[in-house]
Amino acid sequence: MSVSNAKLLHCRLKPGLHTLCLSICLIIPLLAGCHSPESVSTNRLERFEFQSPHMGTLFTITLYAAQKSMAQNAAQAAFHRVAVLDEMMSDYQADSELMRLCEAPPGQPVRVSPELFDILSQAQKFAAMSDGAFDVTVGPLVRLWRFARKKKALPTPAQINEAASSVGYNKLHLEAKARTVTLLAPNMRLDLGGIAKGYAADQALAILQGRGFARALVAASGDIAVGDPPPGQRGWRVSIANMDGHTNETFRSVLLRNAGISTSGDTEQFTEIDGVRYSHIVNPRTGVGLTNRIQVTIIAPNATTTDALATGVSVLGATRGLRLVDTLPRTAALIATKRDGEMRAFTSRRFKSVFTEAVATSKTSR
């Protein structure tokens, strides 16, 4: 069994109705090592793994191919696609297409690339369905909290109010025919940090599939896109491991094909000020980084969806988040919360069945 891109964390489970004692978890791809007899005869496909840093994290591609050189070329093309998307969508590079768009005067339509238009359209869809909990216009608030994190000092209410006046997905207008984006308020700043890694993982997987490597997995730390399963297997085994501890104990594991899986949480990115822990995920309604400990794992047909929903459901919280997830087809959630030292886990109605479904559903019916 091989473990890639792994952050194995610790978990203590206490059985109970919808309540488990656990630590916050991250997901890792675990490729099951045992092959069925079918896989021996299927072909001489070998497993290859490649890694490359993009979007502030390490992207890992795992694929099955007959020849190393072909696998290498395909992985290179997929990483190149991620690099191109990174250049377009980065909020750290002042000359990225996204940042140039944010420089436009309010009210002026800007024609953008098909990719930027596509991801923004999808982002708006998730904003609407989450009632603004997921919102890529949250940039001014994220920036304020990043600054707070550096200075270890809270932003003032006045600063939060000012930033919040430039936030709101209804201030972002898209015109599909002309492929234009209009920012309707001054000082807006778009932040694709909650969706871009999942989008890039999906696009990288599509490149591999386009080159004939359908048995592939692309992982961008907590955001994973999987295609057809490894030879002789029913799916890619993805383990949901736990944090706040030291063992390699796995909390849950799912078998996925042609699907996405993402985990969001304040495991790694948070700041503690005056004894309060603030997540890098900001509630666009309050303007404050989440202070309730929550970690959300979403499974859905693709990683763009899981990335955005994992972030949005973190803001919505367990009750409202599960209500949303239960309305979406082929979508499931595992939510972990921690309050006053007590850990709880909640699963959406379809959590138990969705990975079986994902395994049973062919690519064409996606």
Residues interacting with ligand ADP, by CB under 6 A?
134-136, 138, 142, 191, 193-194, 222, 264, 269, 280-282, 284, 307, 310-311, 315
Radius of gyration of the chain measured on its C-alpha atoms: 20
Residue nearest to ligand ADP as judged by C-beta position? 193
Task: Please choose which of ligand ADP, Mg ion, none residue 136 contacts, taking the beta carbon within 5 to 8 angstroms, the exact cut-off set by kind.
Answer: ligand ADP
Give 233 or 348: the residue with its C-beta nearer to Mg ion: 348
Instruction: Compute the least distance from the CB of residue 91 to ligand ADP, in Å.
Output: 7
Residue nearest to Mg ion as judged by C-beta position? 311
Instruction: Compute the least distance from the CB of residue 17 to ligand ADP, in Å.
Output: 29
Residues 190 and 215: their CA atoms lie apart, in Å, by: 34
Task: Please choose which of ligand ADP, Mg ion, none residue 227 contacts, taking the beta carbon within 5 to 8 angstroms, the exact cut-off set by kind.
Answer: none
Give 60 or 209: the residue with its C-beta nearer to ligand ADP: 60
Task: Please choose which of Mg ion, ligand ADP, none residue 229 contacts, taking the beta carbon within 5 to 8 angstroms, the exact cut-off set by kind.
Answer: none
Task: Please choose which of Mg ion, ligand ADP, none residue 138 contacts, taking the beta carbon within 5 to 8 angstroms, the exact cut-off set by kind.
Answer: ligand ADP
Give 74 or 300: the residue with its C-beta nearer to ligand ADP: 300
Instruction: Compute the least distance from the CB of residue 360 to ligand ADP, in Å.
Output: 28
Give 168 or 235: the residue with its C-beta nearer to ligand ADP: 168
Instruction: Compute the least distance from the CB of residue 127 to ligand ADP, in Å.
Output: 8
Within 10 angstroms of residue 250's Cβ, the number of other Cβ atoms is 17
Instruction: Compute the least distance from the CB of residue 230 to ligand ADP, in Å.
Output: 25
Instruction: Compute the least distance from the CB of residue 156 to Mg ion, in Å.
Output: 28
Task: Please choose which of Mg ion, ligand ADP, none residue 142 contacts, taking the beta carbon within 5 to 8 angstroms, the exact cut-off set by kind.
Answer: ligand ADP
Give 65 or 138: the residue with its C-beta nearer to ligand ADP: 138
Give 71 or 164: the residue with its C-beta nearer to ligand ADP: 164
- Whose structure tokens read 């309305």? 327
Instruction: Compute the least distance from the CB of residue 57 to ligand ADP, in Å.
Output: 8
Give 134 or 251: the residue with its C-beta nearer to ligand ADP: 134
The per-residue b/e assignment along 180-201, b for 16 or more CB within 10 angstroms, e otherwise, is ebbbebeebbbbbbbbbbbbbb
Alpha-carbon distances, residue 50 vs 59, 218, 305 (angstroms):
8, 10, 24
Residues that bind Mg ion (CB under 5 A): 194, 264, 307, 310-311
Instruction: Compute the least distance from the CB of residue 150 to ligand ADP, in Å.
Output: 14
Give 66 or 276: the residue with its C-beta nearer to ligand ADP: 276
